[in-house]
Each structure stands twice: as structure tokens, then as C-alpha cells.
Structure 1
Amino acid sequence: MSLPFLTIYLAQHTKMDPVLAGLTVGLGPLAGTICGFVGGNLSDQFGRRTVMVAAMFLWAGVYIGFAVAEQMFFFMLLNLLNGVCRSFFEPTSQALMADITPPERRIRVFGFRYLAINVGAVIGPLIGAVTGILAGKTAFLITGTVYFVYAWLLLLMLNRYRHDLASRVTQADRERVGMRAAFQVVRNDAALRFFLAGAILANIGYAQIDTTLPLYLKQNVMNGELLFSMLLAINAGLVVILQMILTRWTEKRPILQSLLIGTILFAAGMGCFAVGQHWGWFVIGMVILTVGEILIFPTNSLFIDRLAPNHLRGTYFGANGFQGLGWFMGPSLGGWLIHQLGGHWGFAVIGLVVICAMYFYWMGMRVYQSRSCEFLQEKSAVSSLVTEEKLHI
């Protein structure tokens, strides 16, 4: 309801130029990049409940802070905290879902999670179009209040089912690994590094939706603010309609196939934004991009879950936050490209950047599959030795 309009809000209520406004918005993902690993590891060590509830209460305060802030410095600080809260809450919540769900059903659960987010996003932009642009600070106050209520509901729910949730976590999952040791494991995981490189490039493209795109529409398209609100509603609405259909399709397909097709559709959506200034091109581009989004984001979570050891699940989901570098670089890069090259070439270059993600996704899956084959061979060898021992005895 409010954050997608933060760029426009900064342009109207401060003296920031488009590049600086994009940098301010990008500080949130930057903080998430740095802190996601920390939050995920803390949830592995001290429990999901503590990290999730604390992050949500602080998050409520951040949005109320947006409503009262006046100076550029405070907007930057608040958006940094916004990124910290997101980076603590989201990987921890995903790890909790994986903790209590059988492996074969996790892609569906991640799909439900993404669907739930977008149900709210269908309504949010329509409210934000009024409160975020016309009334200004009201949107942030409403958002902060909603987050505060949600934090209390979350606390009550987790307390009520505390013993049931604990019973579904195995002893191996409870093994604590310190920050330094966890960092060594993650740093040495080549498959994760390739995957994150691809996700960073894809997110550079997706970051344009909340930053460069609204500014470009406002400055170059008649009733651009209304069009932007409509595009967000289309995006969220299609996710609501198509999510479970495409999730069931994805369940039957290899992870890499979903990632590659989604990336191509991402780039094609950017290509439509680059073609012209008519409303129709932006609508078509958003439809194509949304289908790619549905294929990529839940599949991202599934791939991270496949990579992660049980006792480091939160840490791996937190490390996945390093893809936030794309959200940090995307707004500034997009703003600079649009300023230097114009919308046509600017969005076209972003589309080419997104296409490059395909190589890194492919390499990440190749390393993961190679590692899995080695593990199975070692397991088979150990099993054979045990059998020989028994026969000898």
C-alpha cells in the first residue's frame, strides 16, 4: 500500500533527484543483503518465534517513522531499518514453513505464501493511490498500524501452537551452529554462489517496478500515476489467479526449467516497457513479467531449501538475502540508464542484464546435481561396506 509509492513520495516531499531517491529506496535491500544471513542464523540458534515477532514489532515502528520523518537522513535510516526487519522476518518465516512441511509439498507451501502476499497486494495499490499520493503520510500510518496488529496476532498464534511446532522439528534441526562456522559453510557452497549471482541479476530487473517504472510513467505518460497503480493491481491480481495453477505445473517440472523460462519472461516484460509509451505496451509487459515472476520466486525458495542442511535452513534462507544486492543496485542503475539513454534503451539494457541470469542459474544447478551424485555414490559405497561386514561376520 505504501512502499511502492515511496519513490514518488520522496520526489514530492523532499528535494531528492531521481538517482538519490532511487538510492534511498535501495538502502532497504542493501541492509537486507547484509543482515539476512545474521537473522537466519539467529533463528537457527534461538528459534523462529523470537526472531519473527521481534522483527515485526520493530517493522511497525519503522512505518510510523516514515509518516513523521521530514529530513532526508531519517528517510535513509528508516529504510535501512525496513530492510533489516524484512531480512530477519522473511527468511525465518520461510525456514519455519520448511521445518513443518514434508519435502514433496514445500513448493506448494511456498506458492501459498507468495499467493497470500499478493492477495494483499491486489488491494494495497488501490488504497495507496489515494493515501500514498494524495494524503501522503496516511498510508505509512495505516501500514504501521496493520503491522503492529499482525505482530500481536503472530505472537498469540505461535504461542498457542508452540508445542505442536516444536514436535515437528527433529533433533538434527535443533543443532546450533555459530555464526562463524555457518558463514564458512555458506561461503564454500559453490551452487549457492552461482544461484545468488543469477538472482541478483534478475532482481536488478524486477527492482525497476517499484522505482524506475513509476517515475518514468509519471514523467512521460499521461495519467502515469493511475497507470502505475493499475499495473500493480494487474501484477498482484494475476499472481492470485495463476499462482496455484502454475505451481502445480512447476511441481512436475525440473527446478532449472522453471527458473530459465521465468527469466526469459522477465526480460521479455522489460522489452515491452522499452517498446513504446502507449498504455497497452506497459500492460502487456506487466502480464508477461508476472508469469515469469510466478515461476521464479517460489522456485527460488525451493532451490534454497534443497541446498540447505536441516540445521542450517534458516541460515541458508538468510544467505538468500544476498540477492538483495540486485534490489540495491537496480534502482540506481535503472534511474541512471533512463536519465542517460531514455526509457526505450534504458529498459532494453535492463532486459539484457536479466537474460544473463540464465547462465548462473544453469551453473548453480549443475554444481548442485554434481554434488548430489557424489553424495549418493558415497552413501552407496558406505552401504556396500556395511553389507560386506555383515556377510563376513
Structure 2
Amino acid sequence: MQSDVSIARVKQFPLLMWILLFGSFITRGSYYMVWPFLAVILYDRFALSATEVGLILSSAALVSVFTSFIGSALSDRIGRHKLMYMTGVLYIISFSLLAQVDSVNGYVVVMTLCSIATSIWRPLTSAVIGDIIHDKQTRELAMQSLYFIVNVGCAVGPMLGIWLGLTGKQSSFYITAGAFVVLLIMLYWGFSHQSNIDSAKNTADKEAHSGVTKPVAKETRQQVFAILKQDKLFQCLILANTLCMFIYSQMDSSLIQYLTRAGAPDLLALISSMIFTNALVIISTQFILLKLMAKYSLIQRIQFGLILLMCSQVWLALNPVDLFWGWIGAVVVMSLAETILFPTMNVHIDRLAPQHLRGAYFGAASFSEIGFAMAPLGGGIILDLFGGPWLFMIGAVLCVVVIYLYRILTRLSRPNIAEMKLS
């Protein structure tokens, strides 16, 4: 019965949602052919230390964090589709340049452009889903579906790259740029179709209300900042998610650096296998876990995911460097944690955000990407000073801190937006 309801909700997805799903698949698949290997490329080509590689990756990501909120809040005013077009063009330019760059400074500049585009694109996509799907449960399923299809792309990308002989090759970024060209064309079609639907709906609503419409007042930028400043619950949530991103992102940067410098056997095969395993676990378990945990609250789901993430960090800390299947096992546990955590966090933010401030809230939530941004630098410093096992034990301790932050969320205050409008 539950599956029949889910199928019925999937059939309610508008055309634009299906375009977002397909676009996410082709762009993520091509992206993961080479992006995870950037740390290896920088180490092999320029002989940089773990801290130096981490500094490059962190600098690029850190700059993007502060553009994300501005871009997402701006989308509430100028429209999501215009900003998505501009971000897509930035993706195409930056990935094309990344396929050609041959200096450390060049990598810093171009990777910053890529990170800026990514930081704007992700919250925009979530906000668009909220705009076009009004039913809460259907919207939650749509966000779960988006996360699912992204991981299908992540699974297919590395394996297809190995099959085509492209994995780790810088020129593969041309494929990613081409994928975004295709996506922008499809988005233009999808937004045009959605605009026709919205226009017809607005006309019907006006006729139903005898042509009388009540204008919706938009908050000024100062009011938006005031609302976010008073939302203590949301601020604590951002801090918790920042730490969670820092912990999880060690897999994308510091773990690979650790394995590279420790001389792990069959390094490229191991990295590709870990990426594939991560995506495969998510693909095969996401909707099963969603069904099993449906009776639990969002906070309870997140706390269970954090316990799994803590266990994976302890496993990574204790695993011998040359034990191939040990690394894969740790990734399986970490992937189960990710399957529960990340889509649930997005749904949590969607439920907290006022409808007319969805872009601003998703943009503000993207400040948690600071954890992602600082992960390569923080992880690189810990690797150089203490080594890999200490890095992952610190990650396990941080998991305990995040569990505590989620426990106190419900005690924190939120603003009364209606009263703030009147004042």
C-alpha cells in the first residue's frame, strides 16, 4: 500500500522535476569521472604536501560559501530560472577551463569558480522543488528522489570513466561542461512549460476570486537578516550541519590523501571502488531506509545516522592501510549514515523555512558548507601533524558533539514572522 502511494506521488512530479532529475544524473556522472582524483593530480603533478593540497581545496570551497547565501536570497527576488541559467553558464566556463589549466594558481582560480557554481546550484535546485511541488509529502519524496538520482550518477561516473579510460584524466572535464550545455537546453524547455502551467493556474485563481488578488508583501533584505538572526533553532542547526559536513567530507579529500601518502596498494582502483560503493549503498538502501524509518521523527532519524557516522570514523581510524576490504566496509557504514542524514537534513530545512523565504533559508543553510570547505585544510593539517588514525578519531568525537546539538534544538527560540512584519 505504501509503495502504491509513493508511485502515485512520483506520477505527480511535474515535467521540470523530471528534467532536474535527468540533469542531475548526467552532470553528477560526468563530474565524478575525475573530480575526486584532483587531490591525486595535484600531488602527482606538483608534489604538494597534504596541507598545501588541503589549502587549495578549502580556499576554493570557502569563497563559494559566502556567494551561496547571496545568490539564493537573490533568487527570491529575480527568479530561480534566471539565476540557474547564469550558474549553468559559469559551470560550463569553469569546467572547460579546468580541462586546460596547468599551474597551481590556475587550479586555485578555476576550482574556486567551480565551487561557486556548485554552492549556488544546490540550494537553488532544492528551492525550485519547493516552488513547483506544493504537497509536503510529495515534495519530501521529490527531494529523496533527487538525492537518489545524484548518487546513481556518482556510481555510474567512476565506473564509466574506468571503462572509457578517462578516470583521473583532466580532459574529462570537457564531458562535464558538455553535460551542462545539455541540461541548460532542457531547463529552458522545462521552465517554459512550468510558466505556462503557472500562468493558467493564476488565471483560474483570479477567476475563482472574481479577479481580486491580494498582493504578497516581500521582506526587505534587512527584515530577512533580522528573521534569520532571531531564529536560534536554525542557527544551531547550521552549526550542527557544519560539523557534520566537516566529518563526512574527509572521505572526499583527506582520506584519499592519507591513502596516497601511506602507499595503499592499487590506489586508483581503491578510490574508484570506494566512490562506487558509496553510491551503490545509497541507491540500494535509500528508499528501504526511508520506509523503515518513516515512523520516527526527522531528529530521531538524523541522530541514528550520526551514530552510524561515528562508527564509520572509528572503523577508518583502526583499519590497516593495506586492508582493501576494510576500507570498503567502513565506506558501507558511512554510506548508510549519509543515506539517512543528507536528504533528511534537506527535508528538515524545507519544513523550517517560511514558504516565501525558502531561497533565503536554503541559502543560509548553505553556510554549513563551511564544514565542507574547511575539511581539506583541517584534515590536511591533522594528517601532517598526527596522521590518519587521529583524523578519524577526532571525527568520531565531533559526531558526539553534533548528536548533542540536535538534542537541544527543540529548546531554542524561533521568530514570529507575522509580528515582525507589523513592527
Contact 1:201–1:326 (CA under 8 A) maintained in structure 2: yes
Contact 1:193–1:364 (CA under 8 A) maintained in structure 2: no
1:318 counterpart letter in structure 2: G
Picking from 161, 166, 177, the partner of 1:144 is 177
| Residue equivalent to 2:250 | 208
| Residue equivalent to 2:239 | 197
What are the within-5 Å matches in structure 2 for residues 1-393 of structure 1? Answer: 1=32, 2-101=34-133, 102-129=135-162, 130-133=165-168, 136-165=169-198, 175-220=217-262, 221-277=264-320, 278-367=323-412, 371=414
How far did 1:351 drift? 1.9
Cα deviations across residues 266-324 of structure 1 (Å, max 9, x unaligned)? 12111111112212221111111111101111111111112111110011011111001
How far did 1:100 drift? 2.5
Q: Secondary structure at the match of 1:69?
A: coil
Q: How many residues align?
A: 372
Contact 1:204–1:326 (CA under 8 A) maintained in structure 2: yes
Contact 1:207–1:330 (CA under 8 A) maintained in structure 2: yes
How far did 1:14 drift? 2.5
Q: Counterparts of 2:201 and 2:395 in 1: how far apart (Å)?
A: 44
Residues 128 and 350 from structure 1, CA distance in 2 versus in 1: closer, same or farther, beyond 3 angstroms? farther
Contact 2:40–2:257 (CA under 8 A) maintained in structure 1: yes
Q: Secondary structure at the match of 1:293?
A: helix
How far did 1:175 drift? 4.6
Residues 168 and 95 from structure 1, CA distance in 2 versus in 1: closer, same or farther, beyond 3 angstroms? farther
Deviates more, 1:71-80 or 1:190-199: 71-80
Contact 2:249–2:372 (CA under 8 A) maintained in structure 1: yes
Contact 1:32–1:87 (CA under 8 A) maintained in structure 2: yes
Residues 173 and 167 from structure 1, CA distance in 2 versus in 1: closer, same or farther, beyond 3 angstroms? farther
**Percent identity of equivalent pairs:** 25
Q: Counterparts of 2:253 and 2:167 in 1: how far apart (Å)?
A: 14
How far did 1:250 drift? 3.7
TM-score (norm 2): 0.82
Q: Secondary structure at the match of 1:176?
A: coil
Contact 1:45–1:177 (CA under 8 A) maintained in structure 2: no
Contact 2:75–2:359 (CA under 8 A) maintained in structure 1: yes
Q: Counterparts of 2:258 and 2:105 in 1: how far apart (Å)?
A: 25
1:38 counterpart letter in structure 2: I
Q: Counterparts of 2:288 and 2:52 in 1: how far apart (Å)?
A: 40
Residues 241 and 168 from structure 1, CA distance in 2 versus in 1: closer, same or farther, beyond 3 angstroms? farther
Q: Counterparts of 1:121 and 1:173 in 2: how far apart (Å)?
A: 43
How far did 1:16 drift? 2.6
Residues 196 and 182 from structure 1, CA distance in 2 versus in 1: closer, same or farther, beyond 3 angstroms? same
1:108 counterpart letter in structure 2: L
1:143 counterpart letter in structure 2: T
Q: Counterparts of 2:349 and 2:189 in 1: how far apart (Å)?
A: 29
Residues 95 and 333 from structure 1, CA distance in 2 versus in 1: closer, same or farther, beyond 3 angstroms? same
Contact 1:218–1:225 (CA under 8 A) maintained in structure 2: no
Residues 223 and 52 from structure 1, CA distance in 2 versus in 1: closer, same or farther, beyond 3 angstroms? same
Contact 2:282–2:339 (CA under 8 A) maintained in structure 1: yes
